[in-house]
Amino acid sequence: MRVLITGSDGQLGTDLCKVLNNHTLIPLTIKDGDICDFSFVSNQFNRSKPDVIINTAAYVRVDDCEDNKELAFQVNAIGARNVAVVAEKLGSKLVHISTDYVFGGETTIRYVPYTEFDEPIPCNLYGRSKLAGEKFVIHLCSKHMIVRSSALFGTAGAMGKGGNFIETILRIATENKELRVVNDQIFSPTFTQDLALRISQLIETDYYGTFHVTNSGICSWYEFAVQILAEAGYKNDVIPITSAQFPQKAARPRYSVLDNFHCRLLKFSEMRDWKSALKEYFVQRGYTGK
């Protein structure tokens, strides 16, 4: 198949290019063009004539979205619309990457994982812009696969964030003896290589709709940090704090665990747990793991 990947030089895009190297790849980096430009999307996609389009391009700086509402919706909603419109005209399958942050805005905190059939209620502007993009994709492209994931970590690092949580924790650990990390936001960290592998399986099917794809197991950012340092062999003290003690411009979901319910219904294998994926990350990065 001919597979076009937007954001091919990003954290997920890099792993998609590796996993899908048995296909004819059309990688589009952030420098190749802007999905907010409909002319670029139309011209590039029509020249490439992809069988599958995987849209990983997004504005992912959660706090910055609060100050840059127009840019967030321009990229995450209008950009998604542009891709969906052209994908439909070409008859291409469209995999659109979304986020657990479309949830978490309920008035009461829930502690039951969200399935693909729960109603999204975002708690911040980033989540609202990503949800708007999902709606465009659903209404404008018949062969769509919306893939929501959570707290991505990959060896390439996130271009839009300058790395990832693992690298941030390791850097701080070398600079400070003590770390203070939020312990009341619960989610499922996900290795981009594992996410890419599941996407490679999905595009071989005609199973359209919305899919949650995360590594199994759950944790808080504090628990994630503790495991990272243990894997690295660091002895820093890690102090759990509340979200209120670490104020951020954008609200975060207190609980955004995604149940991979749709994939389970379709008899896909369960994703490995995030701790095993973290060990693999350390191996691939060439760090000393345990």
pLDDT in the model for residue 290: 46
Angle at 125 between CA 84 and CA 82, to 5 degrees: 15
- SS3 category, 271: coil
Please check whether residue 262 lies inside any domain of the structure. Answer: yes
Please check whether residue 284 lies inside any domain of the structure. Answer: no
Task: Please give the residue range of the domain that contains residue 47.
Answer: 2-163+189-217+255-273
Please check whether residue 241 lies inside any domain of the structure. Answer: no
Q: Would you place residue 53 in the very low, low, confident or very high pLDDT band (cuts 50, 70, 90)?
A: very high
Spatial strand order in the sheet of 2-6: 24-28, 2-6, 52-55, 93-99, 144-149, 209-212
Tell me what percent of the chain is helix, strand and coil, each rounded to the nearest 5: 40, 20, 40
Residues 182-196 pLDDT 10s:
999 999 999 999 999
Answer whether residue 35 shows pLDDT above 60: yes
Residues 253-279 pLDDT 10s:
999 999 999 999 999 999 999 999 999
**β-bridge partners, 3:** 25, 52
Please check whether residue 60 lies inside any domain of the structure. Answer: yes
Q: Would you place residue 14 in the very low, low, confident or very high pLDDT band (cuts 50, 70, 90)?
A: very high
pTM of the predicted model, to two decimals?
A: 0.96
Q: Check which CATH number belongs to the domain holding 6 and give it.
A: 3.40.50.720
Residues 79-102 pLDDT 10s:
999 999 999 999 999 999 999 999
DSSP class of 184: S
**CA nearest neighbour of 123 among 113, 108, 144:** 108
DSSP class of 280: H
Domain count for the chain, please give it.
1
Mean pLDDT value of segment 198-225: 98
Please check whether residue 194 lies inside any domain of the structure. Answer: yes
Please check whether residue 33 lies inside any domain of the structure. Answer: yes
CA distance 242 to 247: 9
Please check whether residue 223 lies inside any domain of the structure. Answer: no
* DSSP state string for 127-150: HHHHHHHHHHHHHH-SSEEEEEE-
Contact 160, 219 (CB under 8 A): no
Name the residues annotated as catalytic. 126
pLDDT in the model for residue 288: 64
Residue 82: how many CB atoms within 10 A of its CB? Answer: 23
Please check whether residue 290 lies inside any domain of the structure. Answer: no
